[in-house]
Structure 1
Amino acid sequence: MRGPKRSRVDTETERDDQAEEQVWCRETGLTGAGRGILAQEVGSETETIDEELGFAAGAELTEVRAKMNKTLRAEYFASEREWSKGIVKTRQGLELWKRVGGIRSQKMLETLYRFRDTYYLVILVIAVPMNTVAIAILSRGKCGLSTCTTRYLVAMAAADLTAVVTAFFARIEYYSSGSFLETYPLCSIIFVLQCASRDCSVWLTVTFTFDRFVAICCQKLKASYCTGRTAALVLVNTCTIMCLKNIPFYFIYNPREIIDGVLWICKFNTDYYTEHQWVSFDQFDKSLTPLIPFALILILNALTVRHILAASRVRKGLRGQRKGENCSDSAMDSRRRSAILLFTISGSFIILWLATVVNFFTYNVGGTDPNNYTDSEFILLELGYMLQNLCLCTNTFIYGVTQSKFREQFIAAVKWPVITIVHLIRRQSN
């Protein structure tokens, strides 16, 4: 026997509640078991309210229950968000979080979030000055690198610096309350810039890898492609495309409230996970970064290694025919230096983005629901995010290790303020 017919309003209210709960669970890592306990908590509260108010069953009771249900959920989500940010740490809050945490213990989550916050702060402190120094040194053109290589490296450092800064503002917006960063549409713009800078950083690594592939493996194309002008065109087009691609992210947020005529707090649009257009865009975004770049870098590096090994065998055979001659192979030395720079940058990218790629296949191919992740899967997800940020500050260290002239310029840049201060002190003393 069929039950009473549900109104369109009731159906939409329930769907909105479920969508909001799903989004919050994705953000905080609430498991399926935790959602069940949450439903019981909210359900028991609404039943108690029904008894106290003494309403009879009917449309009026359904409306009141829906309102109270939504209010309780909102208050619960808000309190748990505050706790997850380390602000609310009452005994009752800890016990409730532990109950709804599913198989994830409260202690593990608390330790992970504290480590993550400290980790991001360390990355910020390291990445900003290192990328700034790299841009300053490489822009001078005294590192013994070609013009096209220098432009790629400068652009990569600038993209990494932008990604770090936008991520920093995004975290300030998350942790601060009432700051101007929470105003709409500024909070939405910050998110778009964060995504665009991330994509630029990734795809500039791909363009640099392709440029070195052409320089090493395609001698006929090298003269026309590996030039400063071509590098500038490639960089401008790549960054423009990545920025245009991320514009739709601006529309996945709506203002949550209006205070004194000012729009505040970006509220995530739950249609992103339900509407066909948004779901397709989400799949396109995840494929474009990092799946396709990861595959391209692996393929280009494999082809480059094969070409270098083949060319090395041929050159060794030719040099073996010249017995008694101790001639230096400058072309091979140049290729070796170029290959070392290429493989260290590409290898660093592959290693640091590997966890994100594995999570991509776990979610999209394996069909695992993020709301039901196990402890290890949840840690892998967070590890992927942390390693992505580590990738933003490794290139400067790579330049210092692989490029002797860059090291000289870096040491000179470090010594310059010290020498300047010493000269000023001597002048004042005299």
Structure 2
Amino acid sequence: MNYTSMANNSTVVYPMCSTKITTGIYLDKANDQVFQSIFLPSFIFTLFMFLIGGPGNALVFYIYFSKWRKTTARIFILALAGFDLMNCFFTMPMELTVLHNIITFDHNPVCKIFRYITFMMNHGSSVVLAAIAIDRYIRICYPLRPQLRPHHAKKVVILALILSVTFAWPALFIYGSQTVPIPIPGKTHMCIIGKTCLYEDKFIQTSYPLIFSLSLLVGNVIIDLAMIILYSMIGYQVIQRGTSVNPTPLKYRKGSTSTLSTDDNCLGDKRTEEQERLARNSPENVQNENNEKQVYSVSEKNTHKLTKQSSASIRRDMFRQRSLSISSIEARKSQMYKTTLMLFMVTIVFMGSFVPYCVIVIIRALDKSYYNELSTAGKAVYNLFLRNYMLSSSLNPIIYCFLSIQFRQQCKDLFKRIKKALH
């Protein structure tokens, strides 16, 4: 028997069904056939995303939390990893359960919470990614202006949580158990009544699902356009500096040094702010700073009162100091660009994964007969793309691994320690 024609239908129960089967072998067989013919590819995709994203994001969270020093970039990455972990360890297992029981899942409160948390985590990631784009833009295009610091980043993460809770709340009302009527071939007055986790029955014929879907799409498009503009200006600035004939003025470089040393030089061993303060105030650093000030003072004022060195020796010291400073700045600038590229790729994956989901949901809301008119293969592809939003949560650790040498090294060191402990 073919039970797939009405699977995942967005209509109420047909009145001609005088005999309605809600439990038993007919329902189980229908569920198995619908699952294998339509939802098996989605199940395999979701399982694959879970197997990659769960361990991957746990690894990201551990390494950035325990091995990296406190910086703005670190806090943003930890926030993204936290949202992705919630998706991987709650949303994806729930999605697997719903898919496997596609017309036998009749748990209204669980469905509402499941859909609500899914939207909340994705909204939170979207806000954090927007904040990352703003931070990168200020840091690269306006390095002499006040920068976002770790305490600012923490406030942004809290704001992201508040906004995600605020904008995801309609999912608690719109989603729920939806009735799925499936006629039995050859038995006109008999049909199977299944339940699935989708729009609740009372909202199917209303405009609320469409309004909610449109608000999601509009919000994401606005944020995506803003991020595209910011990263375009960042890219333009990087290209301009790379092709500039004149070297960057030392005054500008010194401003950049301050910025980079406090944030984008985060890809190294973890150091607390107190340790950095003590290091800056150590006798060696104080003496070095005094020596540097002495050299520059001699150069500018051209006086022999502060030192007995010859003018030639002073010029050599000045050249050496400037060479070391420029070399250090260039290294930090390179690290900043690499970090920006990594976060830009995370943003691109997020945009590429969530917008298609919004488009498909809007099509479903605008044309309620669209899904039923698809072939079995078309329904399988439709449901596969409907879960495309999971890509972002699972691929972020892979992006970090490919684009961050330090992250790869920390992973290798961790695996070596685990291997050594097991032996």
TM-score range, shorter chain: 0.5 to 0.7
Mapped contact 2:210–2:365 kept (Cα < 8 A): no
2:9 aligned with 1:25, yes or no? yes
Cross-structure match for 1:303: 233
2:54 aligned with 1:123, yes or no? no
Mapped contact 1:255–1:267 kept (Cα < 8 A): yes
Secondary structure of 1:194 counterpart: helix
Q: Distance in 2 between matches of 1:113 and 1:380?
A: 9
Mapped contact 1:152–1:204 kept (Cα < 8 A): yes
Q: Distance in 2 between matches of 1:71 and 1:266?
A: 25
Secondary structure of 1:274 counterpart: coil
Q: Distance in 2 between matches of 1:362 and 1:252?
A: 17
Q: Distance in 2 between matches of 1:213 and 1:175?
A: 44
Q: Distance in 2 between matches of 1:212 and 1:380?
A: 37
> 1:148: how far off?
0.8
Mapped contact 2:357–2:385 kept (Cα < 8 A): yes
Q: Quick one: higher RCO (CA 8 Å, sep 6+), 1 or 2?
A: 2
Matching of residues 298-337 of structure 1 within 5 Å: 298-314=228-244, 316-318=245-247, 328=327, 329-330=330-331, 332-337=333-338
2:278 aligned with 1:294, yes or no? no
Secondary structure of 1:185 counterpart: helix
Query: Aligned-residue CA RMSD in angstroms?
Result: 4.3
Deviations 1:110-142, CA, capped at 9 Å, x for gaps:
565322212211211221111111100000243
2:100 aligned with 1:175, yes or no? yes
Question: Of the candidates 117, 123, 135, which is equivalent to residue 199 of structure 1?
Answer: 123
Mapped contact 1:173–1:182 kept (Cα < 8 A): no
Distance 1:379 1:274, change over 3 A: same
Cross-structure match for 1:189: 113
Number of residue pairs matched by the alignment: 328
Matching of residues 268-417 of structure 1 within 5 Å: 268-277=199-208, 279-288=210-219, 290-314=220-244, 316-318=245-247, 328=327, 329-330=330-331, 332-353=333-354, 355-356=356-357, 359=360, 369-372=370-373, 381-417=382-418
Identity %: 14
Secondary structure of 2:342 counterpart: helix
> 1:255: how far off?
6.8
Cross-structure match for 1:157: 81
Mapped contact 1:252–1:269 kept (Cα < 8 A): yes
Distance 1:362 1:128, change over 3 A: same
Q: Distance in 2 between matches of 1:77 and 1:213?
A: 58
Q: Distance in 2 between matches of 1:178 and 1:354?
A: 27
Mapped contact 1:185–1:266 kept (Cα < 8 A): no
2:175 aligned with 1:244, yes or no? no
Q: Distance in 1 between matches of 2:369 and 2:196?
A: 31
Matching of residues 26-105 of structure 1 within 5 Å: 26=10, 66=15, 69-71=16-18, 75=21, 82=28, 85=31, 87-88=32-33
Mapped contact 1:363–1:369 kept (Cα < 8 A): yes
369-378 vs 155-164, which deviates more?
A: 369-378
Cross-structure match for 1:426: none
Cross-structure match for 2:191: none
Question: Of the candidates 113, 134, 157, which is equivalent to residue 39 of structure 2?
Answer: 113
Higher helix share: 1
Q: Distance in 2 between matches of 1:366 and 1:268?
A: 14
The letter for the 2-side match of 1:409 is: Q
Q: Distance in 2 between matches of 1:297 and 1:307?
A: 15
Mapped contact 1:170–1:191 kept (Cα < 8 A): no
Mapped contact 2:75–2:154 kept (Cα < 8 A): yes
Q: TM-score, normalised by structure 2?
A: 0.64
Q: Distance in 1 between matches of 2:368 and 2:101?
A: 35
Q: Distance in 2 between matches of 1:268 and 1:293?
A: 26
Distance 1:171 1:182, change over 3 A: farther
> 1:71: how far off?
4.4
Distance 1:351 1:173, change over 3 A: closer
Q: Distance in 2 between matches of 1:215 and 1:162?
A: 30
Secondary structure of 1:25 counterpart: coil
The letter for the 1-side match of 2:100 is: Y
> 1:276: how far off?
4.3
Cross-structure match for 2:135: 211
The letter for the 2-side match of 1:307 is: Q
Question: Of the candidates 224, 230, 237, which is equivalent to residue 152 of structure 2?
Answer: 230
Secondary structure of 2:225 counterpart: helix
Q: Distance in 2 between matches of 1:348 and 1:83?
A: 38
Distance 1:190 1:354, change over 3 A: closer
Mapped contact 2:116–2:171 kept (Cα < 8 A): yes
Distance 1:366 1:192, change over 3 A: closer
Q: TM-score, normalised by structure 1?
A: 0.63
